[in-house]
Every structure is written in structure tokens, then in C-alpha cells.
Amino acid sequence: MKFRIQKSDYIIGRRTAFLNIYDAEALGVKENSRIIVDFGNYNSIFFVSLSKNQVNRSEVIITADFSNEINDEFVNIMPAPPLKSVDSIKRKIYGKKLLQDDFESIIKDINDENLSQIELSSYVTSLQTVGLDDDEIIYLINSMVSHGEKINFEYEVYDVHSIGGVPGNKYALITVPILASLGLKVPKTSSKAITSAAGTADVMEVLANVNLKAEEIKKIVDNVGATLTWGGSINIAPADDKIIKVEQPLGIDPIPQLISSVLSKKVATSIRYLLIDIPMGNETKVQDEQSARSLAEKFIRIGNRIGLKIECAITYGGQPLGRAIGPAIEAQEALRALEGKQTSNSFIVKSLEIAALMLEISGISERGEGIEIARDTLRNGKAREKFFEIVNAQGSKGIEKSEDIQLGEFTYDILSGFDGYISYLSNRSLVEIARILGAPHIKEAGLWVYKKIGDKVEKNEPVLRLYSKNKEKLEQAVRLSRKIKLYSIEGMVIENIPDIKRSKRIWEVKE
Amino acid sequence: MKFRIQKSDYIIGRRTAFLNIYDAEALGVKENSRIIVDFGNYNSIFFVSLSKNQVNRSEVIITADFSNEINDEFVNIMPAPPLKSVDSIKRKIYGKKLLQDDFESIIKDINDENLSQIELSSYVTSLQTVGLDDDEIIYLINSMVSHGEKINFEYEVYDVHSIGGVPGNKYALITVPILASLGLKVPKTSSKAITSAAGTADVMEVLANVNLKAEEIKKIVDNVGATLTWGGSINIAPADDKIIKVEQPLGIDPIPQLISSVLSKKVATSIRYLLIDIPMGNETKVQDEQSARSLAEKFIRIGNRIGLKIECAITYGGQPLGRAIGPAIEAQEALRALEGKQTSNSFIVKSLEIAALMLEISGISERGEGIEIARDTLRNGKAREKFFEIVNAQGSKGIEKSEDIQLGEFTYDILSGFDGYISYLSNRSLVEIARILGAPHIKEAGLWVYKKIGDKVEKNEPVLRLYSKNKEKLEQAVRLSRKIKLYSIEGMVIENIPDIKRSKRIWEVKE
């Protein structure tokens, strides 16, 4: 059927075509039906919404989040035939094993936004409840890589990656320059925070431009040895972002999707050696050692099969890493560490250990000796020097030392009500407070953890300091801090809880 | 925040509030976020869509599928707090057992349309992939019943119910009047076709009004003994329809949802004795005897625990029941059977067997003797008489005998290309053809199966006749019939395939 076309700027979360209710009946389609809109030179799938009076007969209004140019005043509309990908999703729901073809059609349709929210949600849910085996994860990785941009290097490249879940996890700002100053090539891309207070890219953005194109990344890695950029500025594995939009409201992060999301991006950026940090703790993604080991072994097994040499470090994630949470304050803590100033031991130790593992994997140091080399490189200022080479190559924001960083001018100290020892800090609640303060969008918002688990605290001593650019947000955060459990204090230390457990290395898979 | 309110008649499949993109940012909400719109006297949840230019700042446009009256010109809008039901769904995804409270909140939020399509789809998918145990199904039934209308009877009432999947399954038009003329009270409600060619309610609607309210059903059952109405006209277990809207595009029908959908409606209409027909066959919902038995046992076990006495008949569903598919032609076939005229044996046998089982359950006849009583009641015209009492009580459409029924005037015979025997008839393809012809909405559309499985056919003899009210639809169906496999013919009968296997009775659960 032929329709006169109009555009609307409504953003509804899918390509929507508004039809008159009688035209829809004549076409044999209903609300949410998939239709093909034929623009002459090309077709596109839209989802039907209806109206009796606001859309005239023989008229269609399409949403403008559909960005293609429209030349013609008229379009042809017909019901869309069933999608192969929907059949594949259904077979997964019924517990069947999917093949490369299935993932090709699923990822293509996710990329093209041809799936309804019902279908996409069902797919993501089945990834959690039915799961994928190793073969299927590899098919999924292949498809995610093939439907996105790639960066090729003429030499071997290295990467470190954390699966996340721990606030303050800014170690890459230390680890990457250590590795690069020792000659490793590290084109590190990071994410911005979705549910956390600051992603590595948010922290780095306080100091440098992080929106780099593939060619720019390649050039900087050629010249300087490393980048610390935002993965979202290159179009690698674009299906991932569309899947995250469904995972987030459900609050799930299925393991097969987590693995293929990480590895497809590494394959697309030609990474050859990869160290994966798996933080383990009550309020992280991995809650016990068995799950952490099983995830690590899965990463390694699959990596082996697709030509990626992977090692995993299971790290302690039971409290924030370091003491800073929020983009600017984390950047400040990282700079202090690079400058050799007094800072949190857990943060330094983790940054060095991850660097050490990578140095050992790459053969730059013998097994067991990486930590000394990494520590020297931090102490002798070479890491700091390399870090600013990276910052300048990406485009500096003008900050040259930790004291230059501005934090929110409105502050509030949360004081202890008792004498005792900190026995618990809630990752989740600390993040919630930081987000209420405005992190990650307001860079200056954040908090400082004066007292960490095992620390002695006296009545009226500060446990946390909140930073805000804005009085209302500070008051809101203070009100929330009275309602939720941020930490626990016990009268005496039952057991000496170390600040960080030694990372566990997993480099062999026992089957 | 305060907004001036406007209404739109857009039907988007959820309560939608269009906000200006900057207002949304100020509120801290995004597209698809859940918000509370406070109308003064009451609140309602809406989902956010955005616009830069088509919605002014401090203005909100809400969709009119939200039918409540709006008195005030201004409303207050705030982000909605997390729903408990979403947390319950998440726990089901992670394999946890849910409790009564969880289902209360899930069913309440489904009824109130507070869940997004992402959340609802994830719930339905997890019902299939994770499943529910007996306790959970009972909790679900309780919640579905408590959030809907109920009909109470002062006497014991009986019902027969088919889980569906077989075309032409119109036996209730014979079975129900047989039971009622023998004194059983049968307030039967049926569904209209969603994906099939004709539901029992579509067939009955050819002859009588089927849109009856609860009080009318009660009155007719009091006076005449039975009804054959459309379940959708009373508000029992209303969550069911909203769940079907998600099951349908996914093409799934999870067992726990199937069971609770059937049983919640029976509990809501005070049914005490229930016979469930489980058609079994390649292209039905239940494909093998083991699945059929396991489903039957589950129905019986759960029925026992909620005070419903259930028996199940596993029936042959490998081909259509009878020879007619489509509302008017099925009504005609049913009337012919009631009139004692020559008609399909499989259809008569199934109608009588189901009646017989119910007569035995109710104690009207001894075990094994129901079939004779049922056959007599059909033969002596009492069933026909009772059927027209029901038709007249509901409101007759004026048809008094099978010859009065009009079928589509455009017909087409599909002829056999060979001599041989019919070895296969595709339920799915026959339904597809009937729907292209216009069934169930066009009552006169449908088809007649001349040759069933095991029948001898000669070259150029008709296998199927298509009926249409409209030449284009007939041509479309004929074109489709050439592309899809409707039946198979083999040169000789390998094995004598009986027209119907004797129904299997299951009335004891062995654990």
C-alpha cells in the first residue's frame, strides 16, 4: 500500500511508524507489528503504532531516530515476513544448540534494530537461563566482530581488562603506562559508567580527550605505545550497546554475553595477549571463588580457541579499590600514585600486580619477577612520563599534576557514631551516593573513603567525605546516606582482614 | 516537577508520556524510564518517550489508551521507584523459587500494565526456560484469580476444556449439550482464535451471541444448564490476555502459564469437575506421549491441591478433527452431527468420548458405560434440543438448521496429482490457508477436508475445498497452497492408520 510520509522527532526506543487504525487493518497489521517501509532505493523495518485521529488515512508518520535520508514523498508499506533470527531465539528458548548462521542473523537483526523489545529481552533472558556452550559463544563472538569495525596492528598488542563491579577500579591509569614504558603496545579501550560511579574512560576524560577514531588510536599506539580511550567512540561490536540497553533494566549480565562482549572487542582490536581482572566479592559480579574460577577457565578456554592468549587474575572486590570514587577524585588518586605520593596501598598493589602478570606473559620478565620491574617503573617516574605522553597524544585537558584537579566545592563528612573497626563497606551503597552527587556526568562529584575495612575508627572521626558541585545534590546524598547502610563498625577486630588478598593467577585450565 | 497535560490518541502498546528531552534530563529519566504521573486524586505509571521539538518544555503528552478521566490541567511527574515485581522476575531468572507475595506483585503489575515489554518478555521467557514448580503454579493461580472477576454457583458445576492446537476442534458444541441434557451444569467459556482458524467461541458466534456478562451466564446456567460463551467478555484472570500478547510474537506457550491460565479461569468460575482434552501430535502443543502424560499428571496433581477434580483425555491430534476448518463451516459440521446427519466419524467419536468421561466422573454413569448414554442422547435428538435452548438463551442469530449456514461463495478445489493414499495432513498449513482466506474474522471463510489420513484418493479427485467471500483472498490462498506442503500422498498404505485412536484416560497419578 502507498502512503504519504511525514517525519516526527519522537524517540520511542524503536523505529516507529504511526498508521491510521483503518489502514493498519487493511494491511493486516496491529500495534507492534513489524512492517517493511520501502523508500524506493532501500527498505527498512519499522514497528507499528496506531492512531484514529492524529494520523490521516494513506499517511504514515515515522520517527526521526531513523536517520536515513528520505527523498520521496511516498513510500510503499507491507507486512514484514517472519525473521529467521526470531526463530533462532525461539530455538534457544527451547534449549536447542544454535549454530553460526543463527548468531549471524541474531546479531545482524540486533544491529539493524529489527528486533522488538519483546524479542530482544527474550534473547537476553535465555542467555542467562539456558546459557550458551563454548561453541555458541565463539559463534557469537565471530558474528559480533564481523558486524563492526576492526583495528589491525602490524605488531603484537596487549591488553588488560576488568569485568568490573568494584568502585574506584582505576588501576589501568597506572598499569597501562608501566607496560607501555617497558615496550608493550597497549591499545586500551574502556567503557564509560552505565550503572557505576565512574568507568575508566570517565576518569581518563578528566585529563585527556578519550573520543578517538580507529586511525587515531592506531597512530598513537605506533608512536607512544598505548592509548586509554573510550570504546564507544569506535564502532567495534556495536550490537553490544544495544544488548546492554535490555540487560540494564532487568539488572542481569549473563555470563555468555559478558564473555562475548569482552572478547569480541579484543578480537576486533587485534589483541593477542589479554589479562582479565575478575573482582570477587559479595557486591560484585562474581560472588565466590568457585564462580570466579569457572569464569576464568571459560575465558581462557575460549581465548585459546580463537587465538587469544588469556590469563585471569581473581582479585579482592569486597570493598572499593583505593579510597576515591568518582571521575575527578579517581583521576587525582591515580596521578598521586604516578607522582610517587602517599596513596592507598590496595590501589598500588593491584595496579602493579596486574602489570607484573602482563610482563610475565609477554616474556619481558621471568615468572615471579614482574612485580619488581613494575614497581621500579612506577618509582623511577617512567610510568608518569609515559602516562603524560599518552595524555598529550590523545589531547590534554591541561592538568599536569594531581593538585590541579578540581573537586566539588561543597563537601560533607560522614562521621562515625562509635569507636571500633570498620567491618564492612557497601560497594553498592557507595556507588549510589556517588551517583546521587552527580557522578559520572558531573566529573567533580564523588567521595573519599577515609576508613576502609579493618581500619580503626573513633567516635566522630570521618568515615567518608562527599564532594558535590551543587548544594541540593549534596543534601539529597546526605539524606540518602542516613537511610541506607554504607558501612558497619564492630567493637573489636575478630580477624585481621588484609587490605587486599594476593591476586590469584590462573594460567592453566584443568579439565 | 509540574507539567501542563495534553492527550494524544496514539496507541503504542504501553502507557506513554512524551516529555521534552531537556525536562527528562532534569527529571533524571530516559526513554523507556518508568515515571509516576500524579493527577491529583490518583497516580499512574507511564513510560517515557522523548521529543526535542514536538513537545514544549513543561508540557507532557500522554497516550489516550490511558482511559481514566483527567480533571486537572496540570500534573506532577516524578521518577518511579523500583517495582518489587521486577525484583521477583529477576530472582526467577536466577533460578530462585518464588512465593505467593512475588506472584501477587507480578500479576498486579501485569494487570495494571506497569511492566515494560522488556520485563514482561523476560518473565514469560523465564517461565519457559526456568519453569515453575507445583507450589509456584498454585501461587500464580491464586494471584490470577484474586485479581479478576468471579462467578459463584450454588451447585456443583462441570467443564470440559481443550488445550488446543488441533484445527476443527469444535467438539464442545456436541459435548456440552449432551451433558446439560443429562442434568450437569456446564458454564463453558471458550476463547476466540488468536493463531488458529477458529476458536470454539468463533464457531458458536455464527449461531448465537457469545458476549455475555457474569450475571447472564449465571442466569442461563440456572435455567438451561449450560452456556457456550466467549471467556473474553467476562473479566476473569485478566492478566492472561496481557501475557498472551507477549507469548504470541515469541511463538511460545510455557507449560506453567498454560496450566495456570486454564485452572485460574476454572477456579474463577467455580468449576468443581473438569475434563481436560490434550491433543497429541506432531503439529500440536504436545508432541509425544511422554509429554502428554506428564502434562496430564501435572494438571491432576495441581487440581487436587486446589479442590478441582480433574481428569485428562490424551487425544489424537495428528490431523484436523472432523473435516471442517473455519467458523461457519465448523458450525455447519456441528449442526449436522446434532441433526443426526452423516458426518465425520472422528469428530463424533471424540465428542462422545469426552462427554462419556465426564458422565463417569460425575457419577451419572458407571465407569465404561458413559459412551452408550452419550450416544443415545445425541441420537434421540435431546442434545440438539438442548443446544438450541442454549443458543436461544444466549441470543440466536436466526439459524435453525445446518442448511441455513452461508459459506463463502468463491470456492476452489485442490485436486490430487496422483493415485494413492493420504499419508499426512499439515495442521499448521491448513490453518495458514484458512487464515489467508479470512478466518476467523470472516466467518464464511474456511476449508473442507475431503480426504483425511488413510483415505484413498484418485488423480484429479478433490483433496480440499477452499471457501472465500472475496476473490482476491481466494487467489492469494491458492497461490500459497502451491508453495507450502498441505498433505502427502503415498502409493500404497503401509499401515492402516485409524481415523482416531481411542482416547486414553488418565485419572490416577502414579508418583
Q: pLDDT tens digit string along B310-325?
A: 999 998 898 999 999 9
Together in a domain, A389 and A433: no
Q: Chain B: residue nearest A438 by CA?
A: B28
pLDDT score of B498: 41
CATH label of the domain that carries residue B172: 3.40.1030.10
Q: d(Cα A308, Cα B482) in Å, to the nearest integer?
A: 51
How many independent structural domains does chain B possess? 4
Residues sharing a CB contact under 8 Å with residue B263, sequence separation 6 or more, in sequence order: B141, B299, B302, B303, B306, B308
Q: d(Cα B456, Cα A206) in Å, to the nearest integer?
A: 82
Contact B151, B269 (CB under 8 A): yes
Q: Which residue of B21, B129, B132, B437 to mutate against A (max A Cβ within 10 Å)?
A: B129
Q: What is the mean pLDDT of chain B?
A: 91
Does A497 fall in a domain? Answer: no
For residue B451 the three cell numbers come to 480426504
- Identify which of A64, A12, A22, A16 has the alpha carbon closest to the alpha carbon of residue A37: A16
For residue B167 the three cell numbers come to 484445527
Together in a domain, B205 and B348: yes
Nearest by CB to A90, from B126, B246, B250: name it: B250
Percent of chain B with pLDDT over 90: 75
Together in a domain, A183 and A265: yes
Q: d(Cα A426, Cα A166) in Å, to the nearest integer?
A: 10
Q: Which residue of B11, B106, B470, B480 to mutate against A (max A Cβ within 10 Å)?
A: B11
Judged by CB atoms closer than 8 Å, whether chains meet at A9 and B86 is answered as no
Together in a domain, B389 and B293: yes
Burial of B400: CB neighbours in 10 Å, binned 0-12, 13-18, 19+: exposed
Between the alpha carbon of residue B250 and those of residues A102, A247, A360, A485, the distances in Å are 16, 18, 49, 41
* Neighbour tally for A502: CB within 10 Å: 11
Q: Is the pLDDT of residue B59 over 50?
A: yes
- Identify which of B281, B284, B44, B331 has the alpha carbon closest to the alpha carbon of residue B164: B284
Together in a domain, A164 and A305: yes
Together in a domain, A289 and A360: yes
pLDDT score of A86: 95
Contact B327, B333 (CB under 8 A): no
Burial of A40: CB neighbours in 10 Å, binned 0-12, 13-18, 19+: exposed
H or E stretch covering A29: none
pLDDT score of B493: 45
CATH label of the domain that carries residue A454: 3.90.1170.30
Contact A368, A182 (CB under 8 A): no
Does B27 fall in a domain? Answer: yes
Q: Which residue of A7, A8, A12 to mutate against B (max B Cβ within 10 Å)?
A: A12
A314 CA: distance to closest CA in chain B (Å): 23
- Is A253 annotated as catalytic? yes
Beta strands A226-230 and A487-490, pairing class = unpaired
Length of chain B: 511
Q: Is the pLDDT of residue B74 over 50?
A: yes
Find the domain containing A105 and state its range: 84-131
Judged by CB atoms closer than 8 Å, whether chains meet at A51 and B129 is answered as no
Judged by CB atoms closer than 8 Å, whether chains meet at B11 and A50 is answered as yes
- Could you tell me how far CA B246 lies from the centroid of its own chain? 14
B318 CA: distance to closest CA in chain A (Å): 22
Beta strands A271-280 and A309-316, pairing class = parallel
pLDDT score of A509: 33
Between the alpha carbon of residue A352 and those of residues A275, A337, A338, B11, B13, the distances in Å are 13, 11, 12, 57, 53
Q: Which residues pair with A280 in a beta bridge?
A: A286, A316
pLDDT score of A237: 87
Together in a domain, B10 and B62: yes
What single-letter amino acid sits at A251?
G
Nearest by CB to A118, from B12, B21, B121: name it: B121
Together in a domain, B169 and B255: yes
- Identify which of B232, B164, B228, B226 has the alpha carbon closest to the alpha carbon of residue B192: B232
Contact A47, A17 (CB under 8 A): yes
Contact A337, A172 (CB under 8 A): no
Judged by CB atoms closer than 8 Å, whether chains meet at A118 and B250 is answered as yes
Together in a domain, A96 and A205: no
The residues on A that touch B, with CB distances below 8 Å, are: 8-13, 16, 18, 21, 31-32, 49-54, 86, 89-90, 93-95, 116-122, 124-126, 128-130, 246, 249-252
**Residue of B23, B159, B253, B277 marked catalytic:** B253
In the β-sheet with B420-425, what is the strand arrangement from edge to edge? Answer: B456-457, B420-425, B487-490
Instruction: Indicate the residue among B402, B434, B454 that finishes a domain.
Output: B402
Does A139 fall in a domain? Answer: no
- Identify which of B463, B13, B485 has the alpha carbon closest to the alpha carbon of residue B249: B13
pLDDT score of A41: 85
Together in a domain, B90 and B73: no
Q: Chain A: residue nearest B131 by CA?
A: A129
Cβ contacts of B371-375, under 8 Å, gap ≥ 24: B373/B182, B374/B178
Does B55 fall in a domain? Answer: yes
Q: What are the φ/ψ torsions at residue B162 (nearest 5 degrees)?
A: -105, 135
Contact B266, B236 (CB under 8 A): no
pLDDT score of A508: 35
Beta strands A186-190 and A59-63, pairing class = unpaired
SS3 B229: strand
Together in a domain, B380 and B421: no
CATH label of the domain that carries residue A96: 1.20.970.10
Q: d(Cα A337, Cα A348) in Å, to the nearest integer?
A: 7
Beta strands B420-425 and B487-490, pairing class = antiparallel
Residues sharing a CB contact under 8 Å with residue A157, sequence separation 6 or more, in sequence order: A185, A186, A187, A221, A269, A270, A271, A272, A273
Q: What is the DSSP letter of B193?
A: P
Together in a domain, B217 and B262: yes
- Identify which of A193, A168, A206 has the alpha carbon closest to the alpha carbon of residue A407: A206
A482 CA: distance to closest CA in chain B (Å): 18
pLDDT score of A510: 32
Does A41 fall in a domain? Answer: yes
Q: What is the DSSP letter of B2?
A: E
Note the pLDDT tens digit of each residue in A112-143. 999 999 999 999 999 999 999 999 999 999 99
Judged by CB atoms closer than 8 Å, whether chains meet at A246 and B118 is answered as yes
Burial of B361: CB neighbours in 10 Å, binned 0-12, 13-18, 19+: buried
Judged by CB atoms closer than 8 Å, whether chains meet at A129 and B124 is answered as no
CATH label of the domain that carries residue A57: 2.40.40.20
Nearest by CB to B250, from A18, A122, A130: name it: A122
Q: What does the buried/exposed string (b/e) look like for B69-97 if buried means 16 or more CB atoms within 10 Å of the residue's CB?
A: eeeeeebebeebeebebbebbbebbeeee
Q: Which residues of chain A have pLDDT under 70?
A: 64-69, 71, 492-511
Contacts of A90 in chain B (CB under 8 A): 250-252
Beta strands A462-468 and A410-415, pairing class = antiparallel
**ipTM given for this complex:** 0.87
Contact B304, B420 (CB under 8 A): no
Judged by CB atoms closer than 8 Å, whether chains meet at A250 and B86 is answered as yes
For residue B372 the three cell numbers come to 452408550
Identify which of A423-432, B70-79, B136-145, B413-422 has the greatest average pLDDT. Answer: B136-145
Does A425 fall in a domain? Answer: yes
Q: What is the DSSP letter of B403?
A: G
Per-position DSSP letters for B450-482, written without gaps between them: SS-TT-EE-TT-EEEEEEESSHHHHHHHHHHHH
Does B511 fall in a domain? Answer: no
H-state helical runs in A269-325: 289-305
Does A247 fall in a domain? Answer: no
Instruction: Indicate the residue among A402, A435, A465 that finishes a domain.
Output: A402
